[in-house]
Structure formats: C-alpha cells, structure tokens
Amino acid sequence: MKEEISRLKKEKNAVILAHNYQSGEIQRIADFVGDSLELARKATQIDSDVIVFAGVDFMAETAAILNPDKEVLIPSQIASCEMARFLTPEIIKKYREEYPNAQVVLYVNSTAACKALADITCTSANAVKVVNSLDSDVVLFGPDANLAYYVSQRTDKKIVPMPPNGHCYVHTNLGAENVRRDGVLMVHPECSPDLQKIADVIASTGGMIKYVRNSDAKRFVVATERDMVERLKMEFPDREFVPAWENAICLGMKQITLKGVYESLKNEKYLVKVPDDIASKARRAIERMLEVS
Ligand code: 13P
Ligand code: SF4
C-alpha cells in the first residue's frame, strides 16, 4: 500500500498534508505534518497539482480556498470536526446585530460559510495575536468557548464566546479529574478552563512540539488527541510522552486510513469544492490571519 501510494503520488504530482492527530502510519507517509496554522501556511506554498488532505473537513476546505486552481482531495467524506457544527451563519448574523461595533474572529474549526462572515480567522497557535491585532474593544469569538476563555485571560479586549457553549468533545471530556499528572502537563487551549488552570503549559499541537524542543524535561503528559503522542515520539525519540487520557480520540481524524489515502489518490476522490462566492470571502479572512501571524 505504501509503495502504491508513493508511486501514485509521483504519477499524479500530488502531496499529502497530514494533521498532527493522524495515526502514526499516516504521519509516516505524509510529505508534511503540522498543526492547523502550519498546514494552512503550507497549503499556500505548494506547487504540485493535487493535495491529499489527511485531516478533517475544515482543514481540507481551507487548503481548497487557498488553492482554487488545484485539486484538493480528502480521503473520507465523514472526516468531520464536531466543533464546527456549533456555529452557523445565522448565529453570527444575530450576534453581529446585538454587537454592532464588535469584530468577528473565527477559529479555523468552522465551516467555509461561517468564515465568509468573519473579519479574520485564527488557530489556537495565533488566537491571542489575532485578537490583539484588531481595532475594536469587543470581539465576537467562535465557535470554541474554551479557546475564547484562553484568549480572554491574555487580552484587555472583551471576548464574547459565540455561541456560549461551543466546544470539542475530545478536549472537553479530558476533564481535570481524568488526566494523569506524572510528567510535565501540556494542555491544548480547547480543554476546559479547569484543566487550563492546572497546566504546566498551554499550547497548540505545533506549540507543544516547540515547547518540548526548548525544555530539558524527560517526561510529558499530553492533554489533547491521543495520537499527538505519536507525533511527539517521532520528533523526540529520547523523551517519554503519555496521553493524559487514553480515550481522547477524534473520530473525524481517524476516518483517514492508508487504504483511504490510496483510493483517494487512485480515483481522485473526494474533491473538496467550496462555492466561489463563499471561497472568495473566506479567503480574505484566512489571508488576513496569515498576514498577522
Ligand atoms: P491545532 O491547530 O493545535 O493543531 O489544533 C487543531 C484541532 O483541531 C485541535 O483539536
Ligand atoms: Fe474538531 Fe475536536 Fe477533532 Fe479537533 S479534536 S478536529 S476540534 S473534533
């Protein structure tokens, strides 16, 4: 399968981009593995004809929005991010009416139709920087209320979570009571405020890699999706990493399999297409984020 994938990659002039939560075997066949921000940036620097995106729907959509002339494929049609479902264009319009002077910052874990209504997008790696780059004192921030809390602790602006209860089931279930504490505790900002409060470091998945690189510690407890540990072990084979909780599994991410990647390349499916009017508006918000960070 791996040989076939690499043969097809050459034949179709394709690259495979994978998120840090992909299984070890997918990470090993990828041309680039990263966090949401690194993947969005990488998507602007690709000269292949085809991008196979090993991640969830909003990540592949972002790559498609940034590459209207390329073929962006996702190997599964049900690789979805549950958090994105918390926000709709109607909710954003309602909040905008209620807060006419506020600006809208959307976490990239949102649909393209929602991004089209945002002033700017952000990821967990640059959320504070993005918010602080804005003129308005009030920021409507969605869909993740936990990331909104994280930002609110690091800015003077008023952060209004939109909606008030948006969250990721993987990270919210990683409650402070579930996690082990026998190492440096690295926590993703999608986790609850209770868990953020006991963290040794709060960081995006890419931020965790940078933190370990600059740390002398030998053992780390990783409070995010379980396969992040695979990524860290590959990067730092001489350190020890344990998932904070074994059951922290993102089912959307796990829809991507070796067989799926092979079939995606072979049959050029599933094509990720964002309607032009939505894509052009969403592109503005994403490009503005890339300029700020
Ligand atoms: P990162 O940007 O930290 O990789 O996070 C993406 C994500 O979906 C976390 O659940
Ligand atoms: Fe979405 Fe949560 Fe999966 Fe991240 S871990 S992709 S936020 S469902």
On whether both 191 and 232 belong to a single domain, the answer is yes
Q: Which of 28, 2, 17, 80 is nearest to 231 (CA)?
A: 28
Q: What residue numbers bound the domain in which 210 lies?
A: 169-243
Ligand 2 mean position, distance from CA 114 (Å): 17
Neighbour order of strands in the sheet with 184-187: 201-202, 184-187, 219-223, 240-243
Confidence of residue 9 (pLDDT cuts 50, 70, 90): very high
Ligand 2 mean position, distance from CA 255 (Å): 12
On whether both 149 and 178 belong to a single domain, the answer is no
| pLDDT more than 70, % of the chain | 100
Q: What pLDDT, in 10s, does the model give residues 107-133?
A: 999 999 999 999 999 999 999 999 999
Residue 202 is encoded by which pair of tokens?
A: 């709060």
- Does residue 281 sit within a domain? no
The alpha carbon of 279 is separated from its chain's Cα centroid by a whole number of angstroms, namely 18
Atom of ligand 2 nearest to the CA of 252: 3
Confidence of residue 80 (pLDDT cuts 50, 70, 90): very high
- Does residue 58 sit within a domain? yes
Residue after which a domain boundary falls, among 144, 167, 190: 167
Which pLDDT score is estimated for 187?
A: 98
- Does residue 290 sit within a domain? no
Q: To test ligand 1's pocket by mutation, which of 22, 53, 109, 201 has the most ligand atoms within 8 angstroms of CB? A: 109
Residue 74 is encoded by which pair of tokens?
A: 């996702």
- Does residue 177 sit within a domain? yes
Confidence of residue 178 (pLDDT cuts 50, 70, 90): confident
Ligand 2 pocket, Cβ-based, cut-off 6 angstroms: 56, 81-83, 109, 168, 170, 190, 225, 250, 252-253
Ligand 1 mean position, distance from CA 107 (Å): 10
Q: Residues 72-85: what's their mean pLDDT?
A: 98
CB 17 within 8 A of CB 35: no
Ligand nearest to the backbone CA of 83: 2
Distance between CA atoms of residues 47 and 32, nearest Å: 14
**Residue given tokens 């958090």 in the structure block:** 83
Atom of ligand 1 nearest to the CA of 56: 8
- Does residue 185 sit within a domain? yes
Examine the pLDDT at 177 and tell me if it is beyond 90. Answer: no
User: pTM value?
Assistant: 0.97
Residue after which a domain boundary falls, among 135, 167, 199: 167
Q: Report the nearest-CA residue for atom 3 of ligand 2.
A: 250
Tell me what the pLDDT averaged over the chain comes to: 97
Q: What is the CATH number of the domain that holds 234?
A: 3.40.50.10800
Examine the pLDDT at 89 and tell me if it is beyond 90. Answer: yes
Sign of CA dihedral 283, 288, 291, 293: negative
On whether both 260 and 200 belong to a single domain, the answer is no
Distance between CA atoms of residues 71 and 92, nearest Å: 30
Which pLDDT score is estimated for 261?
A: 98
CB 162 within 8 A of CB 117: no
Sign of CA dihedral 177, 19, 79, 273: positive
Sign of CA dihedral 50, 51, 57, 63: negative
On whether both 44 and 74 belong to a single domain, the answer is yes
Number of independent structural domains in the chain: 3
On whether both 60 and 92 belong to a single domain, the answer is no
Ligand 1 mean position, distance from CA 38 (Å): 11
Examine the pLDDT at 84 and tell me if it is beyond 90. Answer: yes
Q: Map residue 169 onto helix, strand or coil.
A: helix
Q: What pLDDT, in 10s, does the model give residues 38-51?
A: 999 999 999 999 99
Examine the pLDDT at 143 and tell me if it is beyond 90. Answer: yes
Residue 135 is encoded by which pair of tokens?
A: 């003129």
